[in-house]
Chain A
Amino acid sequence: MSEAVPPWAVVILPIALVSVAVVTVGFDAVLSAAAVRGRPGSLRELGFRAAAPLREVLRLLVQPSRRTTAADTALGRIGVVLVPVAAVLAGAVLPLGFRSLSDPTVGIVWFNAMEALAWAAVWLTGWGPNSALSLIGGYRFLAQGLAYELPHMFAITTAALGAESLQVGEVVAAQDGLWFAVWMPVAFFVYLLSAMAMSFWGPFGHPLGRDAAGGAAMELSGVDRLVFLGGRWLLMVVTAGVSVPLFLGGGHGPLLPAWAWTLVKTALVLAALVAGRRLLPTLRMERYTEFAWLVLVPATLLQALVVAVVVLNR
C-alpha cells in the first residue's frame, strides 16, 4: 500500500511534526487563556493568546542557563535531547495518506521501541542536575511507565492482530472498510490514555508535577527546557498521529484526498487529548497503576481475544 517517498522527506518529517505541535500548543494556549481570562474580545486578542507559546520559545532561547553543583551534565543532556529524537524516530513509520518515511515490516514494534526511549530520557533528565525533586520526577515517570506500557502494548498488538501484520501500511490497508476503532473500542481508548501517559502530559503530568516543583524539568532552563518541553509535544503529536493508521483507518475516507484525511483525523485526536487534559485531574501513579493492572490489562487481553476469534473466523 505504501509508496516510496523522495529523500528530502527526511527533512520534511521533523518540520511537519514541529508545525503540527506548534498549532496544537497554540490551541491549548487559547483554551487555557479563555479559562483564566474569559472569552477573547477580538480576533487580534485571540491571535495574541495563540502566540503565547511562541513568545515563551523566544524567552527560553535567550534565557541564560542555570547550573547546579555536581551535575551529571552529559547524562542530563542526553536525556533532554532524547525526547524529541525519540519522537522523530517514532514518526518515521507515521504515514501521511499512504506514504510514510519508511514502512518496515515490523513498523509497530519500531514505534513501540522508539517511544520507550522516553523512559530513559525522562529519568536521565531527572538524574542529570543532581537535584532531589527532579530525580523524584524521573522516578515518577518510571512508575508511570510500568503502569501504562503493558496495556499500551496489548492495545497496539490488538491492532496488529486485526490486520495480521506488524507493518503500519498493512494495518491501514486492512481498515479499508471498517475502522479498527469501531470494533476495537477498548484498545483504542487504552491507546489514547497511553498517548497522554507516554508524553507525560495532562492527567499524566505527575512526573513534571507542581507538587514536586516541576519534577523532572525543575532544573532545566534556557534551550534545554525548550528542547525537553518541545520534545514532549512532539511525542504527543506522534503518538496521536500513529493512532490514525492504527485505529482510525489512516488515509481512508470519502471525497477528500488521503493526506487531508490523515490531517483531519490527527487534528481530531489531538483535540480530544487537549480536551482530556481539561476534563481529568492529574493522576497519581499509585492509583493509576492499580487501575491499569487490574482493569486495563484484563480488558485489553479480552479485546485481543475477541479480535483473535474474529480474525480466525474471517
Chain B
Amino acid sequence: MNIFTFHSGNTALHRLDVRYKTALVCMVSLALLKAGFAGCFVCFLVLSWLVYATGISFIHLAVQLKWFILLLGIMFITRSLTVPGTPIFSFFEVVITHEGIVQGTLVAMRFFLVMITGLLFSATTRPADLKSAAQWYLKPIPFVPEKRVAIMISLFLRFLPLILTQAQQVSDAVNARCGNLNKNPVRRIRYLVLPLLKKIFLAADSLCLAMDARCYSEDRTDPVFETGKNDMRFLGAGICLCLVMVCPFHIFIKMTFWS
C-alpha cells in the first residue's frame, strides 16, 4: 500500500462523481502546462488544501515522492545550465542563467503539481469507479469494446501489484542461490524473466478459469453514476481554477481590481 493506492474515506473528493473527477484532472493538468508562476501558486494552495482535507500526511507524501522530487531537482539543474540568457554565475564553461533558473523552477513546479493532482485522483478514486469512468468515456467511440477495455483496466490495476510481488519472489529465490554473483546481464534477465513469465501465464490461466466459473461475460450490469449539485459545484470551481491558472496574472489582477 502506498499513497497512490485508494484510501477509503468520505471526503467531498471521495464522493465526487468519477466522471467529473476525471474531467477535472484532465483540465487542471492541461491548464498547468500553460500556467505561470502565479497560476502555479494558486493551484498549489488549492491542491494543498485538498491534500489536507483528504487526510494524506504531508510528511508521508514527501517521503513517498522523494525520488520524484530528486528527478525534479535534476530537471531544474539541467534547465539552469542549458537555457541561454543572462549569466548570474559562471565557473569555467559552466554558466547558470537567470532565464534557466526561472524556466527550471516553472517546469519543476508544473510537474510537481501534475503529480499531486494525479495522486489526489488515485487516492480518492476506487479502481472500480475508474473502470466505470473509462467505460463511460469510451462508450460513444465506435469500434471500441468499452466493456472489455474496462475489465482489462480493472485487471491490470488488480494484478500489477501481484506481478511485482512475484517478480520480487523470483528475484529472492535467484539471490538465495547466489544468483546475485552472476554479473552477466543476459543470464540474469533469463533467470528472472523466464520464471516470472511462467508464473504470470499460470496465474492468468487460473484467473481465466475463475472468471469463467463465475459466468464472466462482457454483457454485464452497467455501472450507475450518481450526480449531485456538489459535482456541478466542483466542476464550476475547477473551471474557474483553470481559467485563473491560464489567464496572465497581470490581466487577472487588472480585471479584479478594475471592476
A and B co-occur in one complex? no
Q: List B residues at the A interface (Cβ < 8 Å).
A: none
Q: List A residues at the B interface (Cβ < 8 Å).
A: none
